[in-house]
């Protein structure tokens, strides 16, 4: 058996670094699944890619594909591969070269999308479609999760949506890439249950990533026919998600604000009132809006329902609403304050007359004016203020005072009789008017429920106050009716029952209960007046702050009530016995009556802690200072018990009075500060909701006139409603005519938005990345020009004597970390050989499992055998395969190329195949040929030290030039190649720079007769072109045809290529050179230089190296002075 060829450490037989165990460093090993240390050749390869050195990259790739000595898919310590570096530098030609030469793309497509490199995205999409096979994961899904730059659930379309790149999204959507559709947060399907059980965090983050993609303005513009409504729906859904999934609330709220901003940005693009009116009045179920029609404002109603406050408060919408609101009263806003007050007072006083005119002649001029929103608001507000005035009169018993002042003697006598007769009284005239108002309020609410629906009715918090107020008034009416019947029955049996004074009534008499409910209803009626403050720019923000504070108070009372109940239980348990003693002292009169005259103090104290309810009341009033320490001086109480009682009361006062009450004040202050910060938006949103309630064509008459019959009712009986006429008219119109105008305006808005977004991007100043991109392009062009000059026979050796290149600090830091073996990941103590493997190689990838033919179990019944056979037949059927293909096409993450892009895809495929063919035909570089530009790494620290030593040497030389003649010469040392390579692997650093001069053996004649050295050199000089198009153009001639002979004008006579015997020289040599200008050896040191690292392939010179194909490394530390030879 032959001995297996030994490979360099870290190199696998397949050209990858895949190994069973990670590399060890100083007794430790790099963590499994993370980037491994690089070989020097791999570092040079990545440096050449980063600098745009096309010739060197091409040569390294050709050599790597022939000899498999390095891994072309390696990555630097930060996890960046060659394609990633080329994409970051936006070097399209380098990307094309790497793709054509077979470098694995991995997640390069996602990097290109993240860098918004459109040309690279198109190329990588075509390459991915070329190499993708059904049922297998995509290239970016094969990247190990430990080093992947993106989450496993990220698709190209999602990432493009995250970057909000309109152009890349358009490319992917044109190819048919699938738009992600998230499952509901409460979804219980098998897939959601499985994903949650496997990794709940990943499942949650996947949902966030999908919604982040769906909220992209560019994706909404490209996929939605109605972007504004789509933004509304997404915003509302994200709000619900934020409330349901509190863990990701901040992310969802940020996305919600992004959707709201997008809707506002689209609204900014409107330019005319007609465009704005068509957008706000769009309704798919009704006819399209035309100038002069009544505005339904359907889209604005949707915005209010979805709580799009910034959209509603936009200046364009507010201007349109203002024009609608003050319609019918031209010039009202330009009047002075006095004129406005006079106009409003006139309407408030004459509102009954306006209502009567509208009831009799709804189509007259005054009736038309009554339908205007602002006039309707004034009429309704005046009617409600009159209702509050009636309530004040009822509470003050104004009808009795009127009789006393203006009544006759007979009326006054009846009044005196009525005051003595407390029971069995009928409602007064003012109370009957209140009843009429209440009926009108109830009918108004019923009409609103039928008009907007129960769901929308309950969304308005003021409707809850109206419902509570109306419920209380109805309850009062029912209780008064029940009390009247009960009292009338009692009076019929005994007429003296009518003169029973009120203080002798039962505690829960129906009339007393009715009076209590009537008082509460009056409170809610007065509070409803606050709703009208929304119309005022000064009182509106205060009203909104009050509403927000009510929510804070409700939340606060949960904790407050808990603390109060806890201390009430403790105090009642501690003091119940002594409170009972005080109660026994109080109730000493016959019949168990309380003696308030003699024992009034005991009658007050026993109630403080007599039971749990009384204890809770006492602690509640203690928050306002109504309970003192004297209430703990109970009869018979002991000092210890009194001490504990006072201690508990003090603790309650500290917690509830000092801490919790101040916490409530802080919460309310915070709410007011939040409202004040966005006071303009909040006030305009609240005012718009108030305005919209008066824009409807219904409920023109206020209570109580709305319950009275009018001419309008008679007209509605004999005529069809306006809605029916509108629907019939909408049916007659064609659908294209209904929606074409809205669609055209929406397309215009989207186009203006995208154009404005691109203009904003173009207006950005030049950044550092732009300058670095230009530098990279210039550097790439320099390398290409030098290669062209060299191929033409010119001398380009002086290119290495330029001054050092200025590179950005970011690039310098990256190069230093790369060359010095810097590792981002920490090391671990143990190495497991059968883990993930080396990430620089293939490793173990998580692939998509495809259902295969079921295996036969050990023991199976007849039924199980039949099921297995049926499943096998199903899997082998054509229909099953077709369903798999359809499902894969439906869920494709990149789609397929269009007909116009198919030619480009074919060109890419031919370019890759032609590259492989030419590499196999090309034997390599000519003898001794090197790149005109060396891949060098500048060590700033070493360079600084050399400058300091050179300055000291120059000072000494200038001072002692006449006395001493110094010759600067580095120490000479020869290092064997295998020892240096082994030392490099062990230390994970570049080999120590030594200087050695080795004489080359005499060249031998070429073994191939009739072939000149020039012809062989020309054939080896033939290299791959830079792009696929050039490669296809150059692949036309036959491979068997010899290339034409070409000789440079100054080239010497053709000589056979030299050959070397493997037994007479080492595999590689380390030569002593110095880059830059040099001086003579007359006591002057050589000039400061950088370390130049380049490849001298002795394997290509000799053809064989005794079974070792390790890369040959030349590390140059200095250059001998010109004309001076080092001694042997």
At residue 164, the pLDDT reads: 92
Q: Output phi, psi for 198, to 5 deg.
A: -70, -50
Residue 1081 domain-assigned?
A: yes
Give the angle 41-1032-1030 at the CA atoms, nearest 5°.
65
- C-alpha span between 258 and 256 (Å, rounded): 5
CB neighbourhood size of 205 (10 A): 16
Residues of the chain short of pLDDT 70, as ranges, are: 1-33, 287-288, 718-739, 762-770, 772-773, 797-860, 862-891, 899-900, 921-1128
Residue 903 domain-assigned?
A: no
Name the DSSP letter for residue 805.
Answer: P
Name the token pair of 467.
Answer: 């419902």
> In sequence order, what DSSP letters do the residues of 915-968 get, joined into one string?
HHHHHHH---SPTT---SS-EEE--HHHHHHHHHHHHHHHHHHHHSTTT-----
Residue 998 domain-assigned?
A: yes
- For residue 1085, give its domain range: 939-1004+1058-1128
- C-alpha span between 1045 and 1014 (Å, rounded): 7
> CA dihedral in degrees (43, 45, 50, 54; nearest 10)?
160
Strands 935-937 and 1091-1095, sheet pairing: antiparallel
- C-alpha span between 893 and 881 (Å, rounded): 20
Q: Scanning the structure block, which residue is given the tokens 């490319």?
A: 171
Residue 527 domain-assigned?
A: no
- C-alpha span between 258 and 239 (Å, rounded): 12
Residue 796 domain-assigned?
A: no
Q: Scanning the structure block, which residue is given the tokens 């006759």?
A: 408
* Residue 632 buriedness (CB in 10 A; 0-12 / 13-18 / 19+): buried
At residue 312, the pLDDT reads: 95
- C-alpha span between 816 and 812 (Å, rounded): 6
Residue 237 domain-assigned?
A: no
- Radius of gyration of the CA atoms of the chain, in A: 46
At residue 865, the pLDDT reads: 65
Number of structural domains found in the chain: 2
Residue 199 domain-assigned?
A: no
At residue 1021, the pLDDT reads: 42
- C-alpha span between 15 and 67 (Å, rounded): 9
1086 touches 1122 (CB < 8 A): no
At residue 250, the pLDDT reads: 92
298-336 burial, b at 16+ Cβ within 10 Å, e below that, comes to: bbbbbbbebbbbbbbbbebbbebbeebbbeebeeeeeee
> In sequence order, what DSSP letters do the residues of 281-308 get, joined into one string?
T--TTSPPP-TTSPP--HHHHHHHHTT-
828 - beta bridge partners? 29
- Distances, alpha carbon 893 to alpha carbons 140, 371, 1030, in Å: 11, 56, 31
Q: Output phi, psi for 716, to 5 deg.
A: -70, -25
- C-alpha span between 180 and 285 (Å, rounded): 29
> In sequence order, what DSSP letters do the residues of 447-467 get, joined into one string?
HHHHHH-HHHHHH-HHHHHHH
- C-alpha span between 449 and 441 (Å, rounded): 13
Each residue's pLDDT tens digit, 893-909: 777 777 667 777 777 78
Residue 874 domain-assigned?
A: no
At residue 953, the pLDDT reads: 53
At residue 870, the pLDDT reads: 57
At residue 739, the pLDDT reads: 63
Name the token pair of 978.
Answer: 């295998």
* Residue 85 buriedness (CB in 10 A; 0-12 / 13-18 / 19+): buried
- C-alpha span between 108 and 78 (Å, rounded): 15
997 touches 1072 (CB < 8 A): yes
Which of 681, 710, 733 lies at the terminal end of a domain, its last residue? 681
- Distances, alpha carbon 886 to alpha carbons 479, 505, 745, 874, in Å: 71, 84, 37, 16
Which of 681, 701, 729 lies at the terminal end of a domain, its last residue? 681
670 touches 680 (CB < 8 A): no
At residue 769, the pLDDT reads: 66
209 touches 187 (CB < 8 A): no
At residue 816, the pLDDT reads: 58
At residue 92, the pLDDT reads: 87
1045 touches 1014 (CB < 8 A): yes
1076 touches 1088 (CB < 8 A): yes
139 touches 131 (CB < 8 A): yes
Name the DSSP letter for residue 91.
Answer: -
Name the DSSP letter for residue 178.
Answer: P
- State yes or no: cis peptide before 704, omega within 30 of 0: yes
- C-alpha span between 720 and 727 (Å, rounded): 11
Which of 681, 711, 743 lies at the terminal end of a domain, its last residue? 681
Q: Tell me the CA end-to-end span of the chain in Å, nearest whole number.
A: 43
């Amino acid at each position: 058996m032959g001995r297996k060829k030994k490979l360099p450490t870290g190199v696998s037989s397949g050209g990858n670094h895949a190994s069973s165990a990670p590399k060890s460093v100083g007794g430790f090993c790099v963590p499994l699944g993370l980037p491994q240390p690089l070989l020097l050749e791999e570092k040079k390869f990545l440096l050449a890619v980063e600098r745009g050195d096309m010739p060197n990259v091409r040569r390294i790739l050709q050599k790597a594909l022939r000899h498999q000595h390095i891994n072309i898919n390696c990555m630097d310590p930060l996890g960046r591969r060659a394609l990633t570096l080329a994409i970051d530098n936006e070097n399209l030609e380098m990307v094309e070269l790497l793709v054509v030469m077979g470098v694995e793309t991995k997640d390069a497509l996602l990097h290109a999308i993240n860098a918004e490199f459109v040309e690279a995205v198109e190329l990588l999409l075509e390459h991915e479609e070329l190499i993708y096979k059904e049922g297998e994961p995509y290239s970016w899904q094969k990247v190990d999760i430990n080093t992947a730059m993106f989450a496993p659930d990220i698709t190209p379309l999602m990432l493009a949506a995250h970057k909000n790149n309109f152009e890349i999204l358009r490319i992917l959507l044109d190819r048919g890439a699938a738009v992600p559709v998230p499952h509901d947060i409460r979804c219980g399907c098998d897939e959601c249950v499985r994903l949650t059980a496997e990794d709940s965090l990943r499942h949650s983050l996947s949902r966030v990533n999908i919604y982040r993609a769906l909220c992209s303005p560019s994706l909404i513009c490209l996929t939605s026919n109605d972007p504004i409504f789509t933004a509304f729906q997404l915003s509302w859904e994200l709000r619900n998600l934020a409330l349901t999934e509190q863990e990701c609330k901040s992310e969802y709220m940020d996305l919600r604000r992004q959707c709201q901003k997008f809707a506002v940005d689209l609204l900014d693009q409107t330019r005319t009132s007609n465009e704005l009116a068509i957008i706000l009045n769009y309704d798919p179920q009704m006819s399209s809006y035309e100038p002069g029609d009544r505005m339904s404002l359907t889209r604005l109603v949707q915005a209010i329902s979805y709580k799009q406050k910034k959209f509603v408060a936009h200046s364009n919408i507010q201007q349109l609403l203002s024009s609608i609101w003050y319609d019918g009263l031209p010039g009202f806003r330009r009047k002075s304050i006095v004129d406005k007050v006079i106009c409003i007072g006139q309407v408030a006083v004459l509102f009954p007359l306006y209502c009567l005119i509208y009831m009799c002649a709804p189509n007259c001029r005054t009736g038309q004016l009554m339908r205007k929103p602002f006039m309707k608001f004034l009429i309704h507000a005046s009617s409600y203020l009159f209702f509050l005035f009636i309530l004040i009169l009822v509470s003050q018993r104004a009808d009795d005072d009127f009789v006393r002042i203006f009544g006759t003697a007979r009326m006054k006598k009846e009044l005196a009789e009525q005051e003595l007769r407390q029971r069995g009284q009928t409602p007064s005239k003012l109370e009957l008017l209140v009843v009429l108002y209440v009926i009108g309020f109830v009918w108004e609410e019923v009409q609103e429920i039928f008009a907007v629906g129960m769901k929308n009715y309950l969304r308005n918090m003021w409707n809850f106050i109206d419902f509570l107020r109306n419920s209380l008034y109805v309850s009062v009416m029912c209780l008064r009716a029940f009390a009247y019947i009960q009292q009338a029955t009692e009076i019929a049996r005994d007429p003296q029952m009518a003169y029973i004074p009120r203080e002798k009534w039962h505690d829960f008499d129906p009339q007393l209960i009715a009076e209590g409910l009537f008082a509460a209803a009056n409170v809610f009626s007065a509070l409803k007046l606050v709703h009208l403050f929304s119309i005022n720019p000064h009182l509106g923000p205060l009203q909104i702050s009050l509403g927000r504070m009510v929510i804070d108070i409700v939340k606060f009372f949960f904790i407050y009530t808990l603390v109060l109940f806890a201390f009430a239980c403790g105090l009642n348990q501690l003091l119940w016995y002594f409170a009972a003693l005080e109660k026994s002292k109080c109730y000493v009169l016959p019949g168990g009556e309380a003696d308030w005259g003699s024992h009034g103090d005991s009658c007050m104290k026993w109630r403080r802690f007599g039971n749990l309810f009384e204890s809770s009341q006492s602690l509640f009033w203690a928050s306002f200072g109504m309970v003192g320490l004297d209430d703990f001086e109970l009869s018979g109480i002991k000092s210890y018990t009194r001490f504990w009682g006072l201690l508990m009361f003090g603790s309650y006062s500290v917690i509830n009075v000092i801490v919790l009450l101040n916490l409530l004040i802080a919460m309310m202050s915070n709410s007011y500060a939040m409202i004040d910060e966005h006071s303009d938006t909040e006030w305009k949103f609240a005012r718009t909701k108030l305005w919209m309630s008066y824009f409807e064509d219904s409920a023109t008459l206020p209570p109580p006139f709305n319950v009275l019959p009018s001419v309008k009712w008679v007209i509605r009986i004999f005529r069809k409603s306006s809605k029916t006429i509108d629907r019939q008219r909408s049916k007659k119109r064609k659908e294209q005519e209904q929606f074409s105008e809205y669609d055209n305006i929406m397309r215009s808005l989207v186009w203006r938005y995208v154009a404005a977004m691109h203009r904003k991007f173009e207006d950005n100043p030049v950044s550092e990345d732009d300058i670095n991109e230009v530098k990279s392009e210039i550097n790439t062009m320099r390398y290409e020009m030098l290669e062209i000059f060299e191929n033409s026979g010119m001398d380009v050796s002086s290119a290495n004597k330029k001054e050092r290149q200025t590179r950005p600090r970011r690039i310098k830091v990256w190069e230093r970390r790369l060359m010095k073996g810097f590792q981002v990941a920490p090391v671990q103590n143990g190495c497991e050989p059968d883990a993930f493997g080396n990430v620089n190689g293939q490793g173990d990838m998580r692939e998509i499992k495809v259902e295969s033919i079921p295996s036969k179990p050990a023991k199976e019944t007849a039924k199980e055998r039949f099921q297995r056979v049926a499943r096998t037949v199903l899997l082998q059927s054509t229909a099953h395969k077709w369903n798999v293909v359809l499902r894969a096409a439906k869920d494709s993450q990149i789609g397929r190329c269009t007909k116009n892009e198919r030619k480009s895809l074919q060109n890419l495929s031919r370019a890759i195949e032609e590259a492989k063919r030419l590499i196999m035909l090309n034997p390599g570089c000519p003898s001794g040929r090197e790149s005109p530009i060396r891949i060098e790494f500048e060590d700033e620290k070493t360079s600084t030290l050399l400058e300091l030593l050179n300055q000291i040497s120059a000072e000494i030389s200038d001072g002692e030039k006449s006395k001493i003649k110094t010759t600067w010469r580095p120490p000479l040392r020869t290092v064997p190649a295998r020892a240096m390579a082994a030392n490099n692997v062990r230390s994970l650093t570049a080999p120590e720079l030594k200087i050695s001069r080795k004489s080359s053996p005499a060249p031998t004649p070429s073994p191939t007769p009739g072939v000149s050295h020039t012809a062989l050199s020309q054939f080896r000089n033939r290299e791959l072109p830079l792009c696929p198009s050039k490669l296809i153009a150059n692949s036309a001639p036959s491979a068997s045809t010899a290339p034409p002979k070409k000789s440079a004008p100054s080239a010497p006579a053709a000589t056979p290529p030299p050959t070397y015997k493997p037994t007479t020289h080492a595999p590689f040599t380390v030569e002593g050179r110095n880059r830059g200008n040099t001086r003579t050896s007359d006591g002057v040191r050589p000039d400061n230089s950088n370390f130049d690292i380049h490849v001298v392939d002795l394997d290509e010179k000799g053809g064989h190296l005794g079974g070792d194909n390790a890369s040959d490394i030349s590390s140059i530390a200095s250059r001998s002075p010109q004309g001076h030879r080092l001694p042997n």
